[in-house]
C-alpha cells in the first residue's frame, strides 16, 4: 500500500459490517468512516481503533511450537510437519474422529467454507463446529422451523428506521453495534414507538418509549401474553393467518392461558405495559420485531424466538412492506459463517449433511465419493466437553475462537482443552486458548486478506486487503492448503480466496443459502449482494417472504410453545439471578479489544453490576470487590452500583479472563433443538470478597 492510497473495506467486528476506508500514511494505516447503507458514515470506538492492532507488539508473526513446556519460535516447515505427523499418528491410533476442528463466526465465507471442507475431506472427521453455535443457533433453528429459511434480517436494515413500532427483545444495540442507533434516531424522529424488553435498563432501553423489565428467562411468557392480548382484543390479521400460515389454532389454544395478570406474576412486567406493547404493535402500519442474544441464549431459546415469531405472524408482519421479524446477528460473519459448512450438521449452501441429495451435490463439487463424507457431529459445547475423554477427540485444530473465555462453564472447558494430546491454534494474537496450544500458527488479520463477509441483513460484502501479513504470518487458506498437502490431499484447497469463492458458489447452488449468482465483481459494483441470488444475471433478494415462505407449501408454520422456568432458578444457597452481556468498548472474548489502549482505558476490567438496594443488604460499597459464586465456579470483580438492574439480579460482562471470567459461572444447560447453552441466566450468591 503506497503512501496516500485509500482502500475501501469493512470493520472487523460486529455483523453490521460498517463500511470504512483505510488510508496509508508514513507506514501507518488509519481508519476513516465510509458512507455505507448499514452505518451511513458512522463508526463506533472499536471501529475507529481497529487498525491499532495491525502492528501491535503482541502480534504473532512466527510459528510457535511447545518445547520443554514453553512456546518457542519455529519455522513453518517444522510447525506444519509436526502438525501433520501428530494428526496422522492420533488418527492411526484411534480413528478419523479423534481429531476435531473448531471455527469462528469472524472468519470470511471463503475460510468458513474451506475449513468445513478440510474437516470432511482432508481429516474425514465429523467433529467440527464453531463459536457461532453460542450466538445465532436458537434464532436460526426457530427461523427454519417457522419460515424454512434462516436469514437474520429478511429485509434491509433501513426498514428499521421507518417502522412505526419497533420491538427489541434482549438487544442492547447502543453498546453492541452503536451505528445501529442512527436507525433508532430515524424511527424516533418519525414519531415511532420503541419498545425494549430487557432485565436491565441498558443504554438502549433508556431510549425506549416503553421498557419492559422482566425477570431473567421469562421472555417467552411475555411473547405469549402479547399474542393473548392481541387475540382477545381482535387485533390479529385474520386474512394473513388464513392465507399465509398454518398451525394457528394450536397456538391460539396455548396462548389462551397467558392472560396478562398471570404473566405479570411470572415476569414482573405490569399488565398495563403488556397491553400498551401489544396495542402499539398491532396498531402500527409498519411494525418490526427483533430478537437478540438476551432472548436466545437460553435452554429454551428456540421456543422463545418461536413465540415472538408467532406474534409477528399473527399480526401479519413477515413479508409485509416495512414490517417483519428478524434476528440481530452478533459476530462479523455470524450469518455467512453458519451457511457454508462450519456447523456440525451442515454442508455449503445451508444444506443438511444427512440429506443424501445434498451429500451427492457437494461431493460432486469436491470431487469425492459422497459415501466418504462423515455424518453429523455434535454441537460446540458438546464437542468441547468431550475433548480428551475416552470417546472424544484427542486433538483439535482451532481457528478464530477463544473458548477458554467465551464458552459456558469455562473452567470445565479449559480442563477439557488441557487434557488434549495435541492442540493447534491459528491466530494473530496469543489468546488464552492459544497460550495452551502445542502449536500456534500466525495468521493474517482482516486488513491483510481478501474475501467476503455476510452481514446481519444477508448482504454479501467484499473485504479488501490493504497490505501483506507481517513477518511470516500467513492466511488461513494458505495454512489449510499446506496442511492438506501434508495429509495427502494435494488438490482442492487453493490459497487464492477468489478461487475458493468460485467453488463456494458452485457448492451453494440450489441450496437454501444460494450464492451462485454472487460474484466479487457484482459485489464491488453495488453495496453488496443479498442472498439468495441463484443467477448472475438475475436479481438478488433484499426482502424475503413477500409472496411465500421457504417451506414446501409456501406457508409459515406456527408452533405452540409453553413458558418454562430457567434450567437453574435461585434458591436459598444461590439466591440471585446472574445475567451476562457486553459493554461498549469491548468485543467478544476481548482478545483484540483488551489490547487496544483506548478501549482498555474505557473499560479496563470486569465488574459486577448490582442494584443499590441489594448492595445495601450485602453491606457493599461501590467499587468494593465482590465474589460471585455459582454451582460451577466463582469470580471476583469490583461492584458497580446501578439502578438499571433489578434488585434480584446481578450483571457481568463476559470479555475478561482470569478472576473476572464471567463464563466461569454460566450454565452449560443446552436447548434441546439448537444446543445453545444457557448463558443468560443462572443462580448465584454474592458476597464481599
3-state secondary structure string, 397-458?
EEECCCHHHHCCCHHHHHHHHHCCCEEEEEECCCCCCHHHCCEEEEECCHHHCCEEEECCCC
Predicted local confidence at residue 25, as pLDDT: 78
Helices (H) and strands (E) in the chain, counts: 23, 30
Integer Cα distance of 331 and 454 in angstroms: 10
Predicted local confidence at residue 1, as pLDDT: 54
**Domains along the chain with CATH numbers:** 6-53 (2.20.25.90), 64-131+333-502 (3.40.50.740), 137-331 (3.40.228.10), 576-688 (2.40.40.20)
In this prediction, what percent of the chain has a pLDDT beyond 70? 99
Q: For 638-664, what is the mean pLDDT? A: 97
Q: For 182-203, what is the mean pLDDT? A: 97
Given a contact cutoff of 8 angstroms between Cβ atoms, the answer to whether 208 and 518 are in contact is: no
Q: What is the pLDDT of residues 210-223, one digit of tens each?
A: 999 999 999 999 99
Helix pair angle (76-93, 476-486), 10° resolution: 50
Q: What is the pLDDT of residues 471-526, one digit of tens each?
A: 999 999 999 999 999 999 999 999 999 999 999 999 999 999 999 999 999 999 99
Given a contact cutoff of 8 angstroms between Cβ atoms, the answer to whether 406 and 663 are in contact is: yes
Cα 621 to the center of its chain, rounded Å = 35
Integer Cα distance of 60 and 98 in angstroms: 28
Q: What is the pLDDT of residues 420-454, one digit of tens each?
A: 999 999 999 999 999 999 999 999 999 999 999 99
Given a contact cutoff of 8 angstroms between Cβ atoms, the answer to whether 263 and 219 are in contact is: no
Over the chain, what is the mean pLDDT? 97
In this prediction, what percent of the chain has a pLDDT beyond 90? 98
Predicted local confidence at residue 2, as pLDDT: 61
pTM: 0.96
Helix ranges, 603-642 (H): 612-618
Residue 589 has pLDDT above 70, yes or no: yes
Q: What is the pLDDT of residues 25-51, one digit of tens each?
A: 777 899 999 999 999 999 999 999 999
Predicted local confidence at residue 61, as pLDDT: 98
Helix pair angle (109-117, 497-508), 10° resolution: 70
Q: For 11-15, what is the mean pLDDT? A: 96
Q: Where does residue 186 rank: exposed (0-12), middle (13-18), buried (19+ CB within 10 A)?
A: middle
Q: What is the pLDDT of residues 62-114, one digit of tens each?
A: 999 999 999 999 999 999 999 999 999 999 999 999 999 999 999 999 999 99
Name the pLDDT band for 286 (thresholds 50, 70, 90): very high
Name the pLDDT band for 4 (thresholds 50, 70, 90): low
Integer Cα distance of 180 and 328 in angstroms: 11
Cα 382 to the center of its chain, rounded Å = 17
Predicted local confidence at residue 417, as pLDDT: 98
Amino acid at each position: 500500500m503506497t503512501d496516500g492510497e485509500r482502500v475501501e473495506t469493512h470493520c472487523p467486528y460486529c455483523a453490521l459490517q460498517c463500511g470504512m476506508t483505510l488510508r496509508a500514511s508514513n507506514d501507518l494505516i488509519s481508519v476513516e468512516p465510509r458512507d455505507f447503507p448499514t452505518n451511513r458514515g458512522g463508526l463506533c470506538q472499536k471501529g475507529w481503533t481497529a487498525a491499532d492492532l495491525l502492528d501491535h507488539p503482541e502480534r504473532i508473526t512466527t510459528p510457535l511450537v511447545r518445547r520443554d513446556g514453553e512456546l518457542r519460535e519455529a519455522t513453518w516447515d517444522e510447525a506444519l510437519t509436526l502438525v501433520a505427523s501428530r494428526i496422522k499418528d492420533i488418527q492411526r491410533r484411534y480413528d478419523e474422529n479423534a481429531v476435531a476442528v473448531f471455527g469462528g463466526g469472524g472468519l470470511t465465507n471463503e475460510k468458513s467454507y474451506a475449513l468445513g471442507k478440510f474437516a470432511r475431506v482432508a481429516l474425514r472427521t465429523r467433529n467440527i463446529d464453531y463459536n457461532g453455535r453460542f450466538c445465532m443457533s436458537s434464532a436460526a433453528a426457530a427461523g427454519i422451523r417457522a419460515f424454512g429459511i434462516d436469514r437474520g434480517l429478511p429485509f434491509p436494515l433501513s426498514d428499521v428506521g421507518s417502522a412505526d413500532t419497533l420491538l427489541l427483545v434482549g438487544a442492547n444495540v447502543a453498546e453492541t453495534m452503536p451505528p445501529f442507533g442512527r436507525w433508532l434516531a430515524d424511527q424516533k424522529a418519525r414519531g415511532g414507538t420503541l419498545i425494549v424488553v430487557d432485565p436491565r435498563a441498558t443504554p438502549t432501553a433508556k431510549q425506549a418509549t416503553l421498557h419492559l423489565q422482566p425477570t431473567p428467562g421469562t421472555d417467552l411468557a411475555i411473547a405469549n401474553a402479547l399474542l393473548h392480548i392481541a387475540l382477545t382484543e381482535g387485533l390479529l390479521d385474520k386474512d394473513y393467518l388464513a392465507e399465509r400460515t398454518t398451525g394457528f389454532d394450536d397456538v391460539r389454544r396455548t396462548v389462551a392461558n397467558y392472560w396478562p395478570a398471570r404473566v405479570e406474576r411470572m415476569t414482573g412486567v405490569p399488565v398495563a405495559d403488556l397491553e400498551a406493547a401489544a396495542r402499539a404493535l398491532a396498531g402500527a402500519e409498519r411494525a418490526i420485531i427483533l430478537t437478540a442474544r438476551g432472548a436466545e441464549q437460553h435452554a429454551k431459546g428456540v421456543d422463545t424466538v418461536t413465540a415472538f415469531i408467532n406474534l409477528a405472524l399473527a399480526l401479519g408482519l413477515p413479508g409485509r412492506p416495512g414490517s417483519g421479524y428478524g434476528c440481530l446477528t452478533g459476530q462479523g460473519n455470524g450469518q455467512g459463517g453458519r451457511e457454508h459448512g462450519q456447523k456440525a450438521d451442515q454442508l455449503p449452501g445451508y444444506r443438511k449433511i444427512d440429506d443424501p441429495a445434498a451429500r451427492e451435490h457437494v461431493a460432486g463439487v469436491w470431487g469425492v465419493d459422497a459415501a466418504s463424507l462423515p455424518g453429523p457431529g455434535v454441537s460446540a459445547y458438546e464437542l468441547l466437553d468431550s475433548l480428551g475423554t475416552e470417546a472424544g477427540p484427542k486433538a483439535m485444530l482451532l481457528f478464530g475462537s477463544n473458548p477458554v473465555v467465551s464458552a459456558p462453564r469455562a473452567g470445565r472447558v479449559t480442563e477439557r482443552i488441557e487434557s488434549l494430546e495435541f492442540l493447534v491454534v491459528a491466530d494473530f494474537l496469543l489468546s488464552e486458548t492459544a497460550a495452551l496450544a502445542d502449536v500456534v500458527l500466525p495468521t493474517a488479520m482482516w486488513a491483510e486478506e481478501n474475501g467476503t463477509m455476510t452481514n446481519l441483513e444477508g448482504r454479501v460484502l467484499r473485504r479488501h486487503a490493504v497490505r501483506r501479513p507481517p513477518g511470516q504470518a500467513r492466511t488461513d487458506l494458505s495454512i489449510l492448503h499446506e496442511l492438506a498437502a501434508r495429509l495427502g490431499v494435494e488438490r482442492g484447497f487453493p490459497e487464492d480466496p477468489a478461487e475458493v469463492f468460485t467453488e463456494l458458489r458452485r457448492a451453494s447452488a440450489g441450496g437454501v443459502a444460494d450464492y451462485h449468482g454472487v460474484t466479487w465483481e457484482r459485489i464491488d459494483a453495488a453495496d453488496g449482494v443479498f442472498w439468495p441470488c441463484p443467477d448472475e444475471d438475475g436479481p438478488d433478494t433484499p426482502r424475503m417472504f413477500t409472496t411465500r415462505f421457504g417451506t414446501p407449501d409456501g406457508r409459515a408454520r406456527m408452533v405452540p410453545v409453553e413458558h418454562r422456568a430457567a434450567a437453574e432458578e435461585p434458591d436459598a444457597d444461590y439466591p440471585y439471578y446472574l445475567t451476562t452481556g457486553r459493554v461498549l468498548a469491548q468485543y467478544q472474548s476481548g482478545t483484540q479489544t483488551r489490547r487496544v489502549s483506548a478501549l482498555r482505558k474505557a473499560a479496563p476490567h470486569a465488574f459486577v453490576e448490582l442494584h443499590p438496594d441489594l448492595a445495601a443488604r450485602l453491606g457493599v460499597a461501590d467499587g468494593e470487590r465482590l465474589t460471585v459464586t455459582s454451582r460451577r465456579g466463582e469470580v471476583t470483580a469490583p461492584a458497580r452500583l446501578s439502578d438499571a438492574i433489578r434488585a434480584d439480579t446481578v450483571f457481568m460482562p463476559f470479555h475478561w479472563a482470569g478472576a473476572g471470567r464471567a463464563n466461569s459461572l454460566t450454565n452449560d444447560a443446552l436447548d434441546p433443538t439448537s444446543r445453545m447453552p444457557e448463558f443468560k441466566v443462572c443462580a448465584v450468591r454474592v458476597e464481599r470478597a
